[in-house]
Amino acid sequence: MLHTAYRPEKEMGLRRIFTDSGHLVRPAVVLIAALGIFLIIRALVIPKAFGQYGHYRPAALMEIRQRPIVYAGQDQCVMCHDDEAKTRAAGKHAHVACEACHGPLASHANDPAAHVPKLPDVANLCRRCHEKDAAKPPGFPQVVTAEHSGGMTCNSCHQPHNPHL
Ligand code: HEC
Ligand code: HEC
Ligand code: HEC
Ligand code: HEC
């Protein structure tokens, strides 16, 4: 006869709970063991200094600070490329940063002759911001590029630094 068989005479009362308590002890043991393993792995994996000042590792700040700077910032670009800056300031791209289109160019700004940048790939660049997409704010200028451009590159009609020229 099965141990777990239905026994109506014990159905009522606290005794039944203790009779079948094996069901509770086994998952409890598994749970405690899992918790123990979790705590051991956690202690091994989390760096010692974590939480010294807050919910982060203080040394991470130094590591981030030591990464090379890849963006020059457009103040730098404007100092040397006055013409492009003037063209841009007069048009709708006045508030689009140089490096939003040209990519990170700190190395070029530091040594222009040694790191001459490639010009942006217009076929992909304009589409990235202007392709029609229902998720964009309706006020933002968008076109279905394939229909709008008729297969021509965008800069055969728009000057990138001032798109209405
Ligand atoms: C210190 C002056 C200086 C700074 C700062 C500078 N540039 Fe230049 N840039 C130059 C010079 C000089 C050239 C021409 C290099 C050559 O052809 O040998 C050039 C070339 C370029 C070209 C390639 C032009 C072409 O016809 O192929 C692009 C694009 C460009 N710069 C963009 C930028 C952007 C964007 C920034 C800001 C992140 C920037 N530059 C910062 C001096 C500078
Ligand atoms: C909206 C995107 C966009 C922005 C913003 C932008 N550029 Fe350009 N830029 C381009 C594209 C695209 C070309 C290449 C045009 C081509 O292939 O004829 C280019 C070309 C250049 C050139 C090469 C010479 C020329 O005029 O064709 C220089 C230098 C340059 N950009 C500098 C800058 C600087 C400096 C800024 C910020 C003041 C800037 N650009 C902002 C897209 C942009
Ligand atoms: C990084 C995003 C970005 C890229 C890349 C970009 N644009 Fe723009 N563009 C803008 C923003 C922002 C505006 C201004 C929108 C506004 O005034 O509300 C704008 C405005 C315009 C307008 C004027 C629309 C109007 O309202 O009259 C034209 C045309 C245009 N862009 C064409 C281009 C072309 C062509 C390229 C590629 C050379 C390009 N854009 C690349 C962000 C971008
Ligand atoms: C054959 C010429 C031509 C080509 C190629 C072209 N455009 Fe235009 N585009 C125009 C004209 C004309 C207008 C309307 C007048 C204006 O805004 O300058 C316009 C308007 C726009 C506008 C503003 C739309 C609005 O709702 O205000 C955007 C954004 C734009 N173009 C992006 C692009 C992009 C991105 C490309 C490349 C995929 C491109 N254009 C290629 C001629 C062209």
- Could you read off the pLDDT of 16-53 as tens digits, one per residue? 666 777 788 899 999 999 999 999 999 999 998 999 99
CB-count exposure of residue 39 (10 Å: 0-12, 13-18, 19+): exposed
If you take atom 2 of ligand 1, which residue's CA is the nearest one? 80
CA atoms of 130 and 140, how far apart (whole Å): 8
With a Cβ cut-off of 6 Å, ligand 3 is lined by 92-93, 96, 100-101, 122, 125-126, 128-130, 140-141, 154-155, 158, 160, 163
Among 78, 68, 124, 115, residue whose Cα is nearest residue 99 = 78
Token duo for residue 79:
């100092």
Above 80 in pLDDT, residue 2? no
CA atoms of 119 and 57, how far apart (whole Å): 40
Ligand 1 near 51 CB (within 6 A): no
Mean pLDDT score, 2-13: 56
* C-alpha 99 to ligand 2 mean position (Å): 9
Tally Cβ neighbours within 10 Å of residue 93. 21
Task: Determine the residue of 80, 87, 98 to mutate for testing ligand 2's pocket, defined as the one with the most ligand atoms within 8 A of the Cβ atom.
Answer: 98
Q: What is the pLDDT of residue 5?
A: 55
Q: What is the pLDDT of residue 67?
A: 94
